[in-house]
Amino acid sequence: MTRGAGTARPTLVAVIDRVREAVRTGAGARLALPLNHAAYPRNAAQLKELGAGYTNCAPTPETRLLRSMQEQCAAQRKLLA
């Protein structure tokens, strides 16, 4: 199996491989894995190769919202300084 930029723990990789095999042999099931997750960093091409049928885009909506709010606060602080 290919690895992403980061390295995943061997135990986690083994568990995901077992789940992936179970999903592959299941009737109509598709694998769902997050994109570029810190614990299992894989890009879209790698997830497709693994047989993923669904993926979340990283960062999460909550993280995007938090970053946006932080940027807006920083911009307002500059205006007040």
pLDDT in tens, 15-65: 999 998 888 888 788 888 888 888 888 999 999 998 898 888 777 788 889
Predicted TM-score (pTM) of this structure: 0.58
Q: Please count the other Cβ atoms lying within 10 Å of the Cβ belonging to residue 20.
A: 16
Query: How do the domains of the chain map onto residue ranges?
Result: 10-80
Q: Please count the other Cβ atoms lying within 10 Å of the Cβ belonging to residue 56.
A: 13
Residues 39 and 15 sit within 8 Å (Cβ to Cβ):
no
SS (H, E, C) 18-50: HHHHHHHHCCCCCEECCCCCCCCCCCHHHHHHH
Q: Using one digit for the tens of pLDDT, what is the confidence trace for 20-29?
A: 888 888 878 8
